[in-house]
Structure 1
Amino acid sequence: MNAPVFSRRALLQGGALVVGFSLAGRSALAQTAASVATNGFSKAIAPDQVDSFLALGADGRATIFSGKVDLGTGVETAMAQIAAEELDLPLDHVTVVQGDTALTPDQGPTYGSLSIQKGGVEIRQAAATARARLVQLASERLGAPIDALVTENGSVRPKAGGTGVSYADLLKDGRFETKVDSAVTTKDPAQFALVGKSVPRLDIPEKMTGHFTYMQDFRVPGMVHARVVRPPAISATLKSVDEGSVASIPGLIKVVRQGNFLAVVTEREWAAIKAASQLKATWSAWAGLPAQDQLWEHVRATKVTKDDVTSSTGDAEGALAQASKVLQATYDFAIHTHGSIGPSCAVAEFKDGLLTCWTASQMTHALRMQLAAMTGLAPEAVRCIYIEGSGCYGRNGHEDAAGDAALLARAVGRPVRVQWSRADEHGWDPKGPPTLIDLKAGLDAAGNVAAWSSQFHVPEGAAGNVPLVAATLAGLPHETTMAPGNVIQNSALPYGFPNVRTVCHRLADTPFRPSWIRTPGRMQNTFANEAFLDECAATAGADPLEYRLRVLKDPRGITVLKRVAEIAGWQARPSPLKEDARADVLRGRGLSYVRYELNRTYVAGVAEVEVDRKTGQVRVPRFFVAQDCGQIINPDGVRNQLDGNVIQTVSRVLMEEVTFDRSAVTSLDWASYPIITFPDVPQVVTDLIDRPTEKPWGAGEPSAAIVPAAISNAIFDATGARLRSVPFSPAKVKAALQGT
């Protein structure tokens, strides 16, 4: 792997030759890998070429090249299943290379629950096209009609029996040289042998035995270590640096200063940690953040750059004026940090005018463009290689660590590893922005919703390439495409109300760099919609499930609601339950539903809660989920996703909130930004609705969207108090109980 120039033939005939680039460290001996050149590869990466997505080696094994990456969600296993199914290969004959910009096509960032829905479908089409090509070649070789042949276990043979020919013999030069046929006939679901079956995750054995190499474990020869010295205030200016304050630290290589970017580079990691804490620097003051106790006043006062009307049916304002009863409420959702268990890390090397970056970025192709802009290199001179990180689920600090490492590698001329600290991670990763929602509903004499009006206050920029901290501090060029993004999704409703108007006010700015955290926008918007709908049901004296079924016309949505009610043992009655108010612990159940972005995965959930009246503590002992994501690739993998979604979101809803003063984030550790611990992890009961003949949709985000409202509705059912502000902290719960 020491930077040879590979021919196409050698690359493909070697089979496993390329695997080390993206999956380095899949054994204990592979934790240290040599640097890899960023040029000299002739492999296709164009998204319309079969050769971009797969290669068949001389040993009959297939290597799949996926631009989508596994963030710990099982995507690697699912991609292997899809490809093995279409190629009629055993699963252990398929290897997946992920997120290497020199080897994999750009399939877009790994976000939005699109890995299977988009990335997997593209790999399926490429594999099916490859199989069709192999059958065509076999037809020519065997002198048999195409429809008289069948693929099986890596070979093509006559259906009637007889000698076949292996894929390796049919494609000796390793080239398909065929465009992906988007209209290709893929395998009949009735013939599936792997898709739709639970298979063991490929990554779990090494993770369970401690042999898995996360980004934080990765090493390259000659690598040195760095720590960035962060400003005490977000936009503080660096006035002076006393380099003599760290001159005595053994192994010090360089103090790097560029603009407001300040870092130390040393031979060993502990020396970098020590130097960063010991380096004396003078910074200007800065206090440009809003006061936290006035956050929502600040959000409401922020300039609106545009209004997105996400739905408009009938005359909502006119119907509100005629309603028998009008309800109104305001919901808010706090600023969240990603809280990655493993702080972000990256390794970068400049060599011969080329930049290689090993990164846990979920968007290596986009990061490549950002690093190119920051360094002034052409994009083709930058190579980003994905290595799974410990913790992600949204654009956290991994890209920023990569920017740090690239700047420092250029400054010292050696490979540099940048490992963020816990304070770096909590203080400097981009945040899930605050969301504020105002809602009104008009009920008719029968208690039905006759009018619905909602206004969402969301940031204008909440998607695209988040600016790199290193580029900002150093005053280097940016490559950013901060687009409005999908944070407006699920502001519109899935229900058939006669008069509806939903508007998203796009705000000119937000206190911190905005980013995605699992289910961005859709979670906040669904929270407000589903909790407020529960308020309407309670006012009408109606059972929350029956109230939804009255106005939901989508058969698949109706099915998931009925299925979750069945597994949760739902008993029809209005909320609240009105238990003995003298009990110390009150119990309730709450329902929530979403069709993700109103055009894909259906999810319904029921939360069971316990509320301690004296302490205000809320527990969620059980959570039930029914999901229809179309065709399921790996049921066990989908259940993993549902478990993770529920557990992480219960944590976010009950306890997570970024705290800050006028200068910077103050929740810099697990004490000040607590997350859920094992004793409070709920039992998650799932029911999967598999539709093998339908398109596959995503499972990485949708089930998180239902959790906040389900918990809020369950607290109301238990106590009669409505929680409208995430997180549902003990202080907020006690205050709400006092108001009932």
Structure 2
Amino acid sequence: MTDRTNPHRQSLLQDSDLLVIYRDPVTPPIPAPGQPGTLSNFTPKEPELFIAVLSDSHILAFNGHVDLGTGIRTALAQIVAEELSVAFDSVTMVLGNSFEVPNQGPTIASATIQITAEPLRRAAAQAREYLLTLAASRLSVERETLHCQAGYIHTNDKHTSDEQLPPISYGELLAGARHALKLADSAPLKPISDYTLVGRSTSRVDIPDKVTGKLTFVHDLRLPGMVHGRVIRPPYVGHDRGDFIGTSLVAVDESSVANCPGLIKIVVIGDFVGVIAEREEQAAEAAKQLKVEWRPVVGLPQLDNIEQALLELPSKQRILLEEGDLDSALATASHQLNRTYVWPFQLHGSIGPSCSVADAQEDALNVWSGTQNPHSLRADLARLTGLDESVITITRMETSGCYGRNCADDVGADAVLLSQAVGRPVRVQLTREQEHTWEPKGAAQYMAIQGGLNVDGSPAGYRFSSRYPSNSAPTLALLLTGAAPPIDIPFEMGDRTSVPPYRYPHRQILSEDVPTLVRASWLRGVSALPNTFAHESYIDELAYLAGEDPVAYRLRYLADDRAGELVKALAKRAKWQRGAANPSSEGDWRYGRGFAYAQYVHSKFPGFGAALAAWVIELKVNVKSGRIVVEQLYVGQDAGLMVNPAGVRHQVHGNVIQMLSRTLKERVSFEDGLPTSKEWGGYPILRFSELPPIDVLLLDRPELPPLGVGESASLPGAPAIANALFDATGVRFTHPPFTPDAVRKTLEASLSYFMDDVS
């Protein structure tokens, strides 16, 4: 794709010799209660562009989501190039600038290709049809005798004229006039059978600039006159709920940094404290030396026992689904089985701490950010500064790791406050400790299941409830400065994949909405990942108690034939057969194999489904040391039409690597209610040397609509490992991560329980 400077949208709206597809400006919809979204009533004055065909036949395409390293910049360009029948490298995607692109909400839920790409696809098709109509008029031929190819209009082979008409380029057709069409749904989409770009692996367009060191990452941005800032956070580390928020600062001793070289200014607003200096290392030293007095923090929740802390939270119950007569079914079950599962708090663990640059001028505010929510950040900055959104521009740049709501928006607001204080561009980068401790963590979760087996081994019933503590994770500066109050209202975020994929004739699905324990927000998989851990661990146990193969048992009760096809395909790929896949023991090592399946279902119940995924894990565990070695991993995915199969494969690999790390290693630890996981030593992640061979099976379903792939392959990972551990040891593991220490303790507790039961 051509490296080309994008024209400013204002000039696009004024220039001639082009075709634009647009929609009238709209006020962003109010998010559903308890759901993420942009809280703003700002309505742009200018139309929102989707497609611009320029006079040189180059195409600009606009989408409201951003590329978080998932490759959507490439896939979206494939979609546009396909519908317009142009070369792939003639399309430039415009993403992330809050005034350049339509407001299509935060980049979450694997929804870009599945949902927000659809208006773009229709706009490209509409542009193609208009160009064909224009050419028919220009050439005085029937519209049906023309077709598009490589940016030109050609006459069909069956054209009956004595002399074949020469092809005419898109640019020639547009010369001398400005063509503007409102986005419509009527244009026919290209048949899948005619695709030449979509469905074929294409190299990522963002990689060359990254590997050659071109300006890509926000961390590398430098502006004329730019200075550097650092922030000093309050002692209520990682918390955003309580009376102490924004009210804990007692005094700042500016004389303590009087001799710091390069210091420009100290900024204090409520509990927000920051320093500005000429150079980055000077700002870091001043922040370290500045003496700040805070009130003692009281009232923090005790987090030594996460399960107990989750159960003690006040809750509001929502019944999501009820079918059959569950109480009677459980009362008459031949074997009752009740289980609880606990997921830990985890970090996004962005490899590079969040960074942002802000340039606050008298009548304008420009911010360069790694945000995944440009329009939401703009709305927050308007609340923070009192400025109208119309003068705030967010330019999204690459950042080093995201996977959900990290500190990118927080540091953007920090930079804005400091830039306003000095009237110069200010760059702020968080420390590793600040990133780890203050990021809105992936929420811990408690899940309880009541169920059992009938005498014939079939599931008797299923009562499932979960507690997922979360709120909207407001941008931190809003809370610290008092511009917004702390939020006690829970988000309704426990719904995702809350309904298991199996046919339980009697079931009740509940969400116990609870407030936060610590600052928490969405992390890859959101509540669907822990919910799947519970669902798939439980069905595996039912299969064992029924004396059946766990894959065969799942296939009998899967409610979706499409899911069954994926399960069968992966089982065949992994050569799954009943019985142990490896020798049962070798010294202190035990071998096991596990299976799990899931479909990521996003949003408030009933939500919408993304891709389907399944895992087969082969591992060994040392029963003395507790060490786990994953020896082989098979993962299958059905994402419908894959726009860029190479990109899908990359996403699956990324999901697998991160999921292995989260399942085997990652957990935020706390002491006196405060996080102690302040650096990589306190929060270890998977090393490349620990990766097993990964065999990826991608089902090719071009006839079906594309499904989101950014998160789905993560879901089966933890239960597949837990089920393999049971296969190896005969013990069920219900509290990830499965660290060596956790494995040893679980095995020891199980042995003690067994000995007590025998005695």
Normalising by the residue count of structure 2, what TM-score does the alignment of the two structures yield?
0.89
Letter in 2 for 1:447: G
Residue 476 (structure 1) shift: 1.6
Letter in 2 for 1:265: I
State the alpha-carbon separation in 2 of the partners of residues 186 and 558 from structure 1: 30
Correspondence for 1:32:
none
Correspondence for 1:20:
none
Correspondence for 2:421:
411
Is the deviation greater in 660-669 or in 551-560?
660-669
- 1:211 paired with 2:218, answer no
Q: 1:389 to 1:482 in 2, by over 3 A?
A: farther
- Check conservation: 2:725, 2:731, Cα contact below 8 A: yes
1:53 counterpart SS class: strand
Aligned with residue 318 of structure 2, among 289, 292, 308 = 308
Q: 1:539 to 1:5 in 2, by over 3 A?
A: closer
State the alpha-carbon separation in 2 of the partners of residues 570 and 333 from structure 1: 28
- Check conservation: 1:12, 1:56, Cα contact below 8 A: no
Residue 121 (structure 1) shift: 1.7
Q: 1:42 to 1:505 in 2, by over 3 A?
A: closer
- Equivalences for 1:566-605 in 2 at 5 Å? 566-573=572-579, 580-581=584-585, 583-597=587-601, 599-605=609-615
Deviations 1:428-458 (A, max 9, x none): 1111111001112220112111211112112
Deviations 1:656-702 (A, max 9, x none): 11112235321110000111111012322111112222211100011
Letter in 2 for 1:202: V
Residue 479 (structure 1) shift: 11
Deviations 1:208-233 (A, max 9, x none): 33335211111221111100011222
Q: 1:595 to 1:12 in 2, by over 3 A?
A: farther
Correspondence for 2:25:
none
CA RMSD of aligned residues (A): 2.4
Correspondence for 1:23:
none
Residue 176 (structure 1) shift: 3.8
Residue 536 (structure 1) shift: 0.8
- Check conservation: 1:314, 1:499, Cα contact below 8 A: yes
State the alpha-carbon separation in 2 of the partners of residues 696 and 223 from structure 1: 44
Structure 2 unaligned blocks of 5 or more: 20-43, 238-243, 602-607, 752-759
Q: 1:314 to 1:42 in 2, by over 3 A?
A: closer
- Check conservation: 2:215, 2:221, Cα contact below 8 A: no
- Check conservation: 2:17, 2:178, Cα contact below 8 A: no
Correspondence for 2:132:
135
- Check conservation: 1:396, 1:430, Cα contact below 8 A: yes
1:717 counterpart SS class: helix
- 1:282 paired with 2:286, answer no
Q: 1:398 to 1:654 in 2, by over 3 A?
A: same
Correspondence for 1:659:
669
Correspondence for 1:548:
554
State the alpha-carbon separation in 2 of the partners of residues 523 and 6 from structure 1: 43
- 1:86 paired with 2:83, answer yes
- 1:233 paired with 2:231, answer no
2:297 counterpart SS class: coil
Correspondence for 1:694:
704
State the alpha-carbon separation in 2 of the partners of residues 707 and 404 from structure 1: 37
Correspondence for 2:36:
none
Correspondence for 1:443:
453
Aligned with residue 293 of structure 1, among 304, 309, 333 = 304
Q: 1:301 to 1:12 in 2, by over 3 A?
A: farther
State the alpha-carbon separation in 1 of the partners of residues 9 and 486 from structure 2: 30
Letter in 2 for 1:701: E
Residue 484 (structure 1) shift: 3.2
Correspondence for 2:31:
none
State the alpha-carbon separation in 1 of the partners of residues 228 and 716 from structure 2: 43
- Equivalences for 1:62-77 in 2 at 5 Å? 62-77=59-74
Correspondence for 2:563:
557
Is the deviation greater in 208-217 or in 87-96?
208-217
- Check conservation: 1:374, 1:479, Cα contact below 8 A: no
Residue identity over aligned pairs, in percent, reads: 39
Aligned with residue 511 of structure 2, among 486, 504, 513 = 504
Deviations 1:95-130 (A, max 9, x none): 111111111001111110101011222211111111
Q: 1:481 to 1:724 in 2, by over 3 A?
A: closer
Letter in 2 for 1:277: K
- Check conservation: 2:473, 2:521, Cα contact below 8 A: yes
Letter in 2 for 1:221: P
State the alpha-carbon separation in 2 of the partners of residues 11 and 569 from structure 1: 61
State the alpha-carbon separation in 2 of the partners of residues 204 and 669 from structure 1: 28
Correspondence for 1:368:
378
Q: 1:482 to 1:700 in 2, by over 3 A?
A: farther
- 1:256 paired with 2:267, answer yes
State the alpha-carbon separation in 2 of the partners of residues 586 and 182 from structure 1: 59
- Equivalences for 1:59-458 in 2 at 5 Å? 59-159=56-156, 160=159, 161-172=164-175, 175-211=178-214, 213-234=216-237, 235=244, 237-305=248-316, 307-458=317-468
Letter in 2 for 1:365: H
- Equivalences for 1:717-736 in 2 at 5 Å? 717-736=727-746
- 1:538 paired with 2:548, answer no
State the alpha-carbon separation in 1 of the partners of residues 178 and 51 from structure 2: 10
Aligned with residue 500 of structure 2, among 493, 503, 506 = 493
2:181 counterpart SS class: coil
Q: 1:435 to 1:627 in 2, by over 3 A?
A: same
Q: 1:585 to 1:193 in 2, by over 3 A?
A: same
State the alpha-carbon separation in 2 of the partners of residues 580 and 525 from structure 1: 30
Structure 1 unaligned blocks of 5 or more: 16-40, 46-51
Residue 483 (structure 1) shift: 7.3
1:599 counterpart SS class: strand
- Check conservation: 1:337, 1:431, Cα contact below 8 A: yes
Residue 11 (structure 1) shift: 6.5
2:153 counterpart SS class: strand
Correspondence for 1:472:
479
State the alpha-carbon separation in 1 of the partners of residues 387 and 166 from structure 2: 54
State the alpha-carbon separation in 2 of the partners of residues 12 and 372 from structure 1: 34
State the alpha-carbon separation in 1 of the partners of residues 482 and 231 from structure 2: 16
State the alpha-carbon separation in 1 of the partners of residues 9 and 460 from structure 2: 69
1:685 counterpart SS class: strand
Correspondence for 1:24:
none
- 1:645 paired with 2:655, answer yes
2:562 counterpart SS class: helix
Letter in 2 for 1:259: G
Letter in 2 for 1:257: V
